[in-house]
Amino acid sequence: MTIERGGDWGARAMPPDDLRIFTDPLEALDLITERRRTGGDLPPIGLTSGDLVRTLGGPTSSDLSRADEALHVKVDLGAVLVDGVLHWFLSHLVARRSWLHGRIVVAANAAFIGRWNVSPRAHPGDGRLDTVEITEMPITERIKARRRLASGTHIPHPDITVRRPNAAQFDFERPTRVRLDGRLIGPARSLSVRVEADAIDLWV
C-alpha cells in the first residue's frame, strides 16, 4: 500500500537548483548523519529509489535532475540512541536476532522493508513512528505471518504489538543486531527511538 495524500501534504513543483539527488538512500542518510552531527543545514534531498520512495508512491520523475515537476513533501526523520550513540534513519529501524526466533522490534517511518509491507499504516509525514514488536510467538504463527508480509495482512495479530508513538524505549536482555535502513549498526541492548518531525525537504 502506497500513500496517496491530497490537501496540504505534498505538491508537485519544479525541483530547486540546490537539490542533492541520490539513487542510493544510504548515501542520502550519510549526508543527513554528517550534517546532524556537525550542526550543518540539510539541503533539499532527491531520492529515486528505496523503501521511503516506494511508500510515497514514487519515483514520480524518471530523472530529477531534468524534471520540470516532481513530488515535494516534508518528511519525518527517525533518530535513535543505540547504547548511547546517536544515529538516524530515513525508512526503518529493525532489531532482531532472527525473523523466526526471539524478539523483533521495528520502528518504521516507511511502510515497506524491501518487498514486505511491514507497517501498512506508516506515514512519513505524520510526526510519528509505527512500531511493530513481537516477543513471544510460536514458530508456526511466525511462518504464517511472514507469508503475509508482502500484502501487509500479517496484522492485526494477537502476538504482534503495533503502536504509533513519537518516542519509545526498547531494552533487550541479550545484545541484538540493529539495522538502520538495512545497514547493520551492530549489536545493542538499549534503544531510545524518537521522531524528528518534518525534518527532510524531500523530492521524488
- pLDDT, residue 8, reads 58
Residue 133 is assigned to a structural domain of this protein: yes
pLDDT tens-place string over residues 106-121: 999 999 999 999 999 9
DSSP per position, 94-115: EEES-SSSS-EEEEESSS-BTT
Residues 20 and 101 in one domain: no
Q: How many domains does the chain divide into?
A: 2
Sites in the chain below the pLDDT cut of 70: 1-8
3-state secondary structure 147-196: HCHHHCCCCCECCEEEECCCEEEEEEEEEEEEEECCEEEEEEEEEEEEEE
Q: Give me the pLDDT at residue 53, please.
A: 95
Torsion over CA: 45, 46, 49, 51 (sign): positive
Residues 189 and 95 in one domain: yes
Omega cis (within 30) before 59: yes
Considering the domain boundaries, does residue 204 fall inside one? no
pLDDT at 94: 98
Does residue 65 lie in a domain region?
yes
Distance between CA atoms of residues 153 and 66, nearest Å: 38
Are 7 and 195 in contact by the 8 Å Cβ rule? The answer is: no
pLDDT at 3: 56
In terms of residue numbers, what domain contains 21?
Answer: 11-77
> Model confidence over 155-179: pLDDT tens digits?
999 999 999 999 999 999 999 999 9
Statement to judge: residues 167 and 109 lie in one domain: yes
Q: In CATH, what number is assigned to the domain containing residue 142?
A: 2.60.200.40
